[in-house]
Structure 1
Amino acid sequence: MGKIEWAMWANEQALASGLILLTGGIVGVAGQFRGWQFAAYAVAAGVFVCLLEYPRSKRSKGTSVARTGQYCFTVCVKAFGPLTRNYYIRAFLHAAISVPGGFMLATVLGCVCLGIASLIYLAAAIRGEHWEPILPHKETRKPVAESIKNPPQNPPPRPPPEMRRKRVDDLEGAAYDNPISVTANE
């Protein structure tokens, strides 16, 4: 069975929790709830978490798919070097960011989700994973094979090439020798 890449799960969890924290903060500030200052903090924290978590990391298998428009965020996150590349730092950063969200009902769900993302990042760090940027690369085109240039002439199912009957045009002017008629003449 394959190895689980915990950072991939942590990234999705943290991005979703950043959006939840942002939404709860907006509700708390707009409603002028008691302790709305915590909601204002949650808005800022949610935006920060979303910006940090939007660029996906390259998978160890190499089957990474970048998010739409992730390149500019990738450059920003990559610029901070080991601070954003190390998952131990991300785990403790998310745990610290989530604490003030627990003091207000509108932001508790985002706080809990970010705490879970922090635990998943800690599991990824313990297993030795780290953030690797997905950078665009120039695609090299392979030459088109002869079989693609000349599509098949007969419909499926097609027998293997060695079992196909030869066309008279392909025999270079040689006549077809019927083995039955040759043995009957002898």
Structure 2
Amino acid sequence: MGQIEWAMWANEQALASGLILLTGGIVAVAGQFKGWQFGAYGVAAGVFITLLEYPRSKRKKGSTMERCGQKYLAAVVKLFGPLTRNYYVRAILHAGLAVPGGFILSTILGTVCLGIASIIYFLAAIRGEEWRPIEKQAEPKPRAGETIKRPPENPPPRPPAEVRRKQADEVSVGGGHVNPIPVTDNV
């Protein structure tokens, strides 16, 4: 069995928790809950986490499906270098961002999910995983001579390949074209 890439799981978990934290923060601020300031923090933290986690990392083996518009945010994540690439840093960052969300009911679910993402990122870091951008590989352009095959010699409908071979042998032996339908004089 192959190795599990824990960072992929952590990325999905952290992205979902950022969105949940954002939603809970909006509910707290809009409802003017007691301690709504923690809800405002949840909105800011949710937006930050969502933007950080939106770009997926390249997998070690196989292909990685890039998210829509990921290349723009991946360039920003790539710009910060080891600060955003290292999963130890992400684990500590998510654990720290999760703490203030636990003080108000509407953001607790996002906080718990972010704590789980932090644990998964820590596990990914222990296993030596690191965030790598998905780079498009240029596909080699086919040459014109390689793509054009010999054009068909007979107009459609064409007989099956074995009948064509048989006809080609008869033509080479007889020197002319043989009519496959026998002609009768019953007219």
TM-score normalised to the size of structure 2? Answer: 0.81
Kindly state the Cα deviation for residue 3 of structure 1 after the two structures are TM-superposed: 1.1
Q: Secondary structure at the match of 1:174?
A: helix
d(CA) in 1 for partners of 2:151 and 2:117? 51
Post-superposition CA distance 1:146-183 (Å, at most 9, x none): 67976xx667xxxxx8xx463222566126xxxxxxxx
1:22 to 2:22 alignment = yes
Determine helix, strand or coil for the equivalent of 2:57. coil
Partner residue, 2:80 = 80
Counterpart code for 2:112: V
SS at match of 2:172: coil
Gaps in structure 2 of 5+ consecutive residues: 153-157, 175-187
CA shift at 1:2, angstroms? 1.3
What amino acid maps onto 1:128 in structure 2? Answer: G
CA RMSD, aligned part only?
2.2
Identity level (%)? 62
Give the Cα–Cα distance (whole angstroms) in 2 for the partners of residues 110 and 148 of structure 1: 62
Is 1:168–2:163 an aligned residue pair? no
Task: Give the corresponding residue for 1:96.
Answer: 96
Q: Distance in 2 between matches of 1:55 and 1:42?
A: 21
Which residue in the other structure is 2:2 paired with? 2
TM-score by length of 1: 0.81
Q: How many residues align?
A: 166
Tell me the residue number matched to 1:125: 125
Sort the Cα spacing of 1:86 and 1:169 in 2 relative to 1 into closer, same or farther, 3 A: same
Structure 2 CA distance for aligned equivalents of residues 97 and 148 of structure 1: 64
Matches within 5 A, 1:102-141: 102-141=102-141
Amino acid of the structure 1 residue aligned with 2:113: C
- Partner deviation per Cα, 1:117-145 (whole Å, 9 max, x = no partner): 00111111111100000123332233555
Once the two structures are TM-superposed, the CA of residue 65 in structure 1 deviates from its matched residue by 1.2
Structure 1 residues without counterparts, runs of 5 or longer: 156-160, 176-186
